[in-house]
Structure 1
Amino acid sequence: MHTYRGGTGGEVTDVELLTAHVAGDPHAFRELLTRHQDHLWHVARRTSYSDEDASDALQEGLLSAHRNASKFRRDAAVRSWLHAIVVNACLDRIRRNKSRQAFSLSADNVEEPRDSHDHVEAVDMRMTVDQALALLPPEQRAAVVAVDMEGYPVAEAAIRLGIPVGTVKSRCARARKRLAAELAELGGRGNRS
């Protein structure tokens, strides 16, 4: 295992690692991924419809980042650059799989309830939200996930998604309106059963 240290013994920056990778260092990109793997997995998982799609999109995105590292512009943080590449890989995969509508049954983000009734309600709510998210167009889903689920400010979400701030705002507004309608519809169906 290679350990990266800066000139003063401190940790090498992400930009330095990316530069080393472009220069041919065989370990630099792996170190960069080690730093950001968890974050990028969560981004892929929240943007995709299933763990399988998230995994595939993450792999595709990282391969793209590896190949296109020389195109990195220093006006953005490396983490934001990687984030945007992974989101775009997820959106590309969603477009390719458009005919397949799936949703996550995972309860990864559901707080552990105190009793089984609460647990069933929490899982049911998560499934309902996932179903509603699955009905959104991919670009709206990515924007609303970044802002409302991941908690990024609109300006940072715009950087991460590689789109203007106004576009993030309009996609979120359209997504929230559609989500409200879909959640009401899905909730109404659940009450009728």
Structure 2
Amino acid sequence: MSAAQAGGRDALEALLRRHYDRIHALCRRLTGHDEDALDATQEALLAIVRGLDRFDGRAAFSTWSYRVATNTCLDQLRRRRRRPEPAPRDTATDDPAVPSFDQLLSDRLAIDEVLATLAPEFRAAVVLRDVLGLDYATIGEVLDIPPGTVRSRIARGRAALADQLGNLNPSVDVPTDRP
């Protein structure tokens, strides 16, 4: 990190390469679209490079870079009009207990589509927790909000997802007609 801050090109490239996949995954889920995610990832990496001298080490580099990437995505969402996602295909499987690849893909597209409808503050909290697996304190640092607000946004975001998605794969659910 210090070598990258001192201007070491190889160190900077290694640092960005090490964090690229997780930053791209964050951008993909926040923007909800592959092309937008690539744009946001590039913008985030540029912002990280430009702001490297301001990184003071109070937080982990990953936390700081997630904050930069999240802010970049939220800015992009405010600037751009969202394009509709393709509707997921409805496919049948031979064994209803084992979802097919098409069903898994369809479920993922449905989740991405619903994520795109969430308010950006709820989407960011849910993606940081459920996709990247960050803890509440780290999410609070990334979003610059208190842990209680993090919990609230995650709960509200998950509730909205559940309301809109319903049950993606009802064939594997336990029947609800219990006495």
TM-score bracket, normalised by the shorter chain, equals 0.7 to 0.9
- Residues 59 and 172 (structure 1 numbering): CA distance in 2 closer, same or farther, change over 3 Å? same
Alignment of 1:110-121 (within 5 A): 118-121=100-103
Of stretches 65-74 and 150-159 in structure 1, the one that deviates more from structure 2 is 150-159
Task: Output the aligned Cα RMSD.
Answer: 2.8
Residue matched to 1:181: 163
Aligned-partner residue type, residue 132 of structure 1: V
Structure 1 runs not aligned, ≥5 long: 1-16, 107-112, 188-193
Aligned-partner residue type, residue 160 of structure 1: V
How far apart, in 2, do the equivalents of 1:114 and 1:29 lie? 50
How far apart, in 2, do the equivalents of 1:185 and 1:69 lie? 44
Do 1:136 and 1:175's aligned partners in 2 also have CA atoms closer than 8 Å? yes
Q: Does 1:30 align with 2:8?
A: no
Count of aligned pairs between the two proteins: 163
Residue matched to 2:77: 94
- Residues 104 and 82 (structure 1 numbering): CA distance in 2 closer, same or farther, change over 3 Å? farther
Q: With a CA cutoff of 8 Å and minimum separation of 6, indicate the structure with the bigger relative contact order.
A: 2
Q: Does 1:162 align with 2:144?
A: yes
Fraction of identical pairs, as percent: 39
Aligned-partner residue type, residue 166 of structure 2: A
Deviations 1:74-119 (A, max 9, x none): 210111111111111111111111x32433789xxxxxx9979723
> Following TM superposition, by how much is the alpha carbon of 1:73 offset from its aligned partner in structure 2, in angstroms?
2.1
Of stretches 142-151 and 154-163 in structure 1, the one that deviates more from structure 2 is 154-163
How far apart, in 2, do the equivalents of 1:66 and 1:83 lie? 13
TM-score norm. by structure 2 comes to 0.78
Q: Does 1:67 align with 2:47?
A: no
Aligned-partner residue type, residue 16 of structure 2: L
Do 2:31 and 2:77's aligned partners in 1 also have CA atoms closer than 8 Å? yes
Deviations 1:146-183 (A, max 9, x none): 11233222122222333321221111122122212211
How far apart, in 2, do the equivalents of 1:22 and 1:63 lie? 14
